[in-house]
Amino acid sequence: MIWKIACALIAVILLSALGVLAFHRLGGGAPARPIAVAFPHPALGPDQACDPAPAFADAAARNAASLTSAPWSVFGRLEAGWETYAPLTTREIASACPPSAEGFAAALAAWQASQHLPAAGVMDEPTLQALRQVWLRRRPFVAATAHGVCPPPPPPDQLAVLRPEEAYGPQPIQLGVNVLVAYRALVAAARADSSAIRADRRLLTIFSGYRDPTVDAIRCAAAGDCGTITRANCSAHRTGTAIDIYLGEAPGLRPDSSADPNRLFQSRSPAYRWMVANADRFGFVNYPFEPWHWEWVGARP
């Protein structure tokens, strides 16, 4: 077990260093463009023992409790628990174990150590905040806007229209040409891999892609919802690299509802789990507060 934790720790440190390098390549307010992004990969195989780590038994029990009840506001809004972020967290810390397992706590401890956090293996608000920062840094759009730059929309000849069967609704949707190529490869792989995704042709179809900034501004003004957690003044959708994909919806809610029950429902879905495990192979990263929102950051090296 110790050598497994040590291997995971070394891998996380190396990958963190690569992530910092990738982030700094974005400096100076550079516009969003394809970049090489370092992604972690599970260092532990499916044979990983999830429970025989008694040193982490208490941490595992605390994680099981906080999963559905912790009153944290890491994403700008008070939430009950962190289960919505469990799939991304599990991937990030390279664990194959559920959040209530001792093996998960052991992997979390290794990740916390790599981030210079108290390495108790207990999920807490600073740890989730640190995870959020790691996830945000993978999005060139966030790096650009952090430097005060709202990326311009692409020229019209760099946009392509989806096929009708690729869109969730009847409205025509545009995406960046390279983004559409990557998206099509992703969907083909998802349907080949997952019987659940194959069984419902609506899954992973796109309900929003490129959005004209002018139209977006009119829309948020009309809704009285500009510059908020749910409607940004400068949306990533203006770049033609962002996609909102259909992952199903909680009963009575819309596929893009940011209500907590809907986000939790989607985070538990096979389609989202597949995306978390595989989308980076096609250059897509998630905005964790919205399971349906993914951004293309370029082909993986």
Sites of contact with Zn ion (CB under 5 A):
244, 293
HSE, CB side, 13 Å, CA atoms: give it for residue 94. 24
Contact criterion met (CB below 8 Å) for 265 and 249: yes
Return the H-helix or E-strand segment holding 160.
Answer: strand 159-161
Beta carbon of residue 290, minimum distance to Zn ion (angstroms, whole number): 6
Q: CA–CA separation, 112 vs 118, rounded Å?
A: 6
CA angle 136, 137, 140 (to 5 degrees): 100
Nearest approach, Cβ of 34 to Zn ion (angstroms)?
19
Give the three-state DSSP class for 195: helix
Q: Closest separation between CB of residue 53 and Zn ion, Å?
A: 38
Shortest reach from residue 267's CB to Zn ion, in Å: 16
Residue closer to Zn ion by CB (options 137, 139) is 139
175 - beta bridge partners?
160
Four-point Cα dihedral 167, 173, 177, 178, nearest 10: -50
**Shortest distance (Å) from residue 70 CB to Zn ion:** 26
Looking at the Cβ atoms of 79 and 244, the one nearer to Zn ion is: 244
Is the Cβ of residue 137 or residue 293 nearer to Zn ion in the bound state?
Answer: 293
Q: Which is nearer to Zn ion, 91 or 293 (CB)?
A: 293
Element (H, E) at 61: helix 57-66
CB 49 within 8 A of CB 101: no
Q: Which is nearer to Zn ion, 216 or 244 (CB)?
A: 244
**Residues 8, 19: Cα–Cα separation, whole Å:** 16
Residue nearest Zn ion, Cβ-based = 293
Nearer to Zn ion, 85 or 104 (CB): 85
Min dist CB 138 to Zn ion, Å, is: 16
Rounded Cα–Cα distance for residues 175 and 161 (Å): 6
Please, are residues 67 and 55 in contact by the beta-carbon 8 Å criterion? no
Q: Which is nearer to Zn ion, 104 or 210 (CB)?
A: 210
Q: Which helix (H) or strand (E) holds 65?
A: helix 57-66
Least Cβ distance, residue 85 to Zn ion (angstroms)? 17
Of 139 and 293, CB closest to Zn ion = 293
Distances (CA, A) of 196 to 24, 269, 277, 291: 39, 9, 15, 17
